[in-house]
């Protein structure tokens, strides 16, 4: 098939599982990372998937990076906006830097990357975009006004761009993961994590591969009628 897929934050955590699943399904994958070059190198050696260093919060780097990927692999058919960070703190202690870093990396990145691929998708009447939101963008979370605002913004962004892409064969969907066993969640203090897991009906953290399955479903060529939707994959945590 040979469709070209770009996965931001694609060299570790949830993104790594998405990159590998797409490769195994026959896609030509480019995995984007931010700063962890050692992890990216190990990822490429292990998987054979090329890694590209692009700061997704920087519009120019996204434009240049997508141009390089296009030159190397071909025009981008599938974009998975997965890169994300946390800079937690209650609002009364949060600095403007904590706020801005999360908004830039988690939300403006979607604009930066989508803007860099959209002309080519429109010209070819085909595109699949998946934005990784979060249960905390749907429900909020103590100590995360920055993260919840950015992820909530992703869900609105997704529905708006889905309307623009619909007549051009471009679908835009979001996945809202619950708590998944990655570095991001392992950074949560154990006593807090215990309380979080106690609230997950299936009784455990999710696996990155369980998010990757959702991505494969949404980006399939046959998925043209699924657009503007949010797929919640969270162990039954947010059923109300
Ligand atoms: P990780 O912390 O394990 O990985 C984050 C990835 O994002 C890394 O590959 C990192 O690159 C990349 N990244 C961070 N900043 C930038 C940047 N400025 N430019 C390019 N890449 C960047 O995160 P997870 O795998 O846990 O999370 C992936 C996504 O899923 C995030 O958007 C997160 O918010 C979301 N999510 C995660 C949940 C979870 O429970 N884990 C729950 C709900 C949502 P590098 O390796 O170079 O640092």
Region class of 43: left (phi > 0), else alpha (psi between -120 and 50), else beta: alpha
CA distance 146 to 151: 9
Distance of CA 72 from the midpoint of ligand 1 (Å):
24
- Predicted confidence (pLDDT) per residue in 176-195, tens digit: 999 999 998 989 899 999 99
List the residue whose alpha carbon is closest to atom 46 of ligand 1.
36
Q: Which atom of ligand 1 is nearest to the CA of 206?
A: 40
- φ, ψ for residue 73 (rounded to 5)? -115, -20
Q: What is the mean pLDDT of residues 159-165?
A: 98
Distance of CA 9 from the midpoint of ligand 1 (Å):
5
Mean pLDDT value across the chain = 96
Name the β-bridge partners of 172. 129
Q: Is the pLDDT of residue 239 over 70?
A: no
Torsion 185-220-131-141 (CA) sign = negative
Confirm whether 240 is a catalytic residue.
no
**pLDDT at residue 65, as a whole number:** 98
Say if pTM beats, i.e. exceeds, 0.75.
Answer: yes
Tell me which CATH homologous superfamily contains domain 4-233.
NAD(P)-binding Rossmann-like Domain (3.40.50.720)
Which of helix, strand or coil describes residue 51? Answer: strand
Give, in order, the Cα–Cα distances in Å from 82 to each of 9, 56, 201. Answer: 6, 10, 25
């Amino acid at each position: 098939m040979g469709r070209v897929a770009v996965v931001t934050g694609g060299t570790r955590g949830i993104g790594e599982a998405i990159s590998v699943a797409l490769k195994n399904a026959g896609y030509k994958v480019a995995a984007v990372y931010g700063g962890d070059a050692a992890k990216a190198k190990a990822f490429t050696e292990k998987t054979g998937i090329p890694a590209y260093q692009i700061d997704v919060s920087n519009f120019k780097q996204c434009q240049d990076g997508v141009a390089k990927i296009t030159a190397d692999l071909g025009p981008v058919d599938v974009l998975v906006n997965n890169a994300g960070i946390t800079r937690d703190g209650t609002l009364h202690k949060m600095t403007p830097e904590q706020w801005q870093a999360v908004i830039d990396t988690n939300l403006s990145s979607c604009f930066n990357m989508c803007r860099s691929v959209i002309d080519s998708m429109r010209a070819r009447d085909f595109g699949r975009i998946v934005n990784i939101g979060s249960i905390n963008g749907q429900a909020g979370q103590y100590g995360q006004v920055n993260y919840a605002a950015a992820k909530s913004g992703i869900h609105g962004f997704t529905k708006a761009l889905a309307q623009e892409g619909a007549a051009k064969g471009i679908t835009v969907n979001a996945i809202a993961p619950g708590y998944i066993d990655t570095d991001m969640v392992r950074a949560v203090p154990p006593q807090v994590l215990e309380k979080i897991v106690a609230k997950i009906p299936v009784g455990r953290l999710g696996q990155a591969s369980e998010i990757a399955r959702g991505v494969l479903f949404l980006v399939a060529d046959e998925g043209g009628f699924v657009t503007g939707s949010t797929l919640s994959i969270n162990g039954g945590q947010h059923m109300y």
